Amino acid sequence: MSFNNLGLCKPILQAIAEQGYTEPTPIQKQAIPTILNKKDVLAGAQTGTGKTAGFTLPLLQLLSEDTRAHSKSPIRALIVTPTRELAAQVGENVAIYGKHLPFKSAVIFGGVKINPQISTLRKGVDILIATPGRLLDHVSQKTIDLSKVEYLILDEADRMLDMGFIHDIKKILALLPKKRQNLLFSATYSEDIKKLSNKLLNDPVLIEVAKSNASAQSVQQVIHPVDKARKRELLTHLIQEGKWKQVLVFTRTKHGANRLSGQLEKDGIAAAAIHGNKSQNARTKALADFKAGAIRVLVATDIAARGIDIDQLPHVVNFELPNVSEDYVHRIGRTGRAGNEGEAMSLVCVDELELLANIEKLIGRKITNVKVPGFRVDPLIEAEPIQNGRQKNAKQGRGRRPSRGAKNMRMHR
């Protein structure tokens, strides 16, 4: 099944093609037609299932179908998320999928100055992505008008309730027009979610997809502590000892991806790199070679990997941990899908202990630490700052110098 017969217009299809997506994910297959039918939706889907495009694509379509002249872009769609990170991520998705459409979108969350947000809102916004607290700050300052909202999306609603946002959500609901389409996305169905959906949704269509990642049971996650200078050697060792035929390896930077794939080639392991600086043709070829088994290792950056349509890989390796913890979840979601066994390995050096701690906090558990014989960590090596790679938002303190605590942490956990 391709995207072509889902009822999406050309500018959206073009943006999807530019992302390299060839086929809708299960949640997209169900959600897109349902939302286009103007039904309220209660969707059970976790991060990694493609849920964001699942609501963003039909939302953009619905907005573009309505040709009424809207003067000064009133907010027509409101997407509420529990965290700043998720808001930023959804905002990126809206911008990407809507890049050939004329809509203006904006992301507002707390922890940053409110004035620039006010001037953005003043200029007119069609699609607003917001966290509840800052949204209500704007309401109380009368710098936002929610009276024209036609579409409300609550993303990761269960997390919103866990974080105690129920009162904020109720306040927000009271400000919206009665007649609107509502979409509620949640990874779990608790009693509280049921209560919220009963209150919010009108004859909803229930959409559920199998758990596909996050800390999916089928993905075995380990970290291998190693000195930075010996990571490549360890990777080659793992590939050769394990006789791996197909492995997706993540690096933090484009340059790092190029360098690593070149080094692996020198070790006699067929490899290719894909990242944003490669042409679409080069990416397509690398992917085809990888799928056909002509290359064993595909080295990718986070952004490039988003467009990769490969599931059920036996091995995913984090050559470097991502600066953005959510990227870890996306990365490991590439393996062990649909009940297949998968293995996600992270090669972690002393510089990355703070990133590791953030990831473990996000996924809610410690990742098993496995020391590979012959790769003892040198306890005298001190942590150095990580300065490169995808940063979500400099203000949120990612990718900064390791704290003193991290610096003094040793790999012997």
Residues that bind ligand AMP (CB under 6 A): 21, 23-25, 28, 47-53, 306, 309, 330
Whether the CB-CB separation of 384 and 229 falls below 8 Å is answered with: no
DSSP, collapsed to helix, strand or coil, labels residue 154 as: strand
Residue closer to ligand AMP, measured from CB, 90 or 355: 90
Nearest to 242 by CA among 308, 296, 322: 296
Residue 318 is given by DSSP the state E
Minimum CB distance to ligand AMP, residue 19 (Å): 7
* Tokens 């060792």 found at: 237
Backbone angles phi, psi at 251, to 5 degrees: -120, 170
Residue closer to ligand AMP, measured from CB, 49 or 81: 49
Minimum CB distance to ligand AMP, residue 92 (Å): 9
Residue closer to ligand AMP, measured from CB, 89 or 181: 89
Whether the CB-CB separation of 5 and 168 falls below 8 Å is answered with: no
Minimum CB distance to ligand AMP, residue 100 (Å): 17
Residue closer to ligand AMP, measured from CB, 313 or 349: 313
Minimum CB distance to ligand AMP, residue 166 (Å): 24
Residue closer to ligand AMP, measured from CB, 336 or 402: 336
Strand order of the β-sheet with 127-130 is 105-108, 127-130, 77-80, 151-154, 181-186, 41-44, 205-208
Q: Are strands 219-225 and 297-300 parallel, antiparallel or unpaired?
A: unpaired
Tokens of residue 59, six digits: 């939302």
Minimum CB distance to ligand AMP, residue 309 (Å): 5
In angstroms, the CA 347 to CA 51 distance is 29
Minimum CB distance to ligand AMP, residue 156 (Å): 10
Residue closer to ligand AMP, measured from CB, 86 or 264: 86
Q: Are strands 151-154 and 181-186 parallel, antiparallel or unpaired?
A: parallel
In angstroms, the CA 321 to CA 202 distance is 43
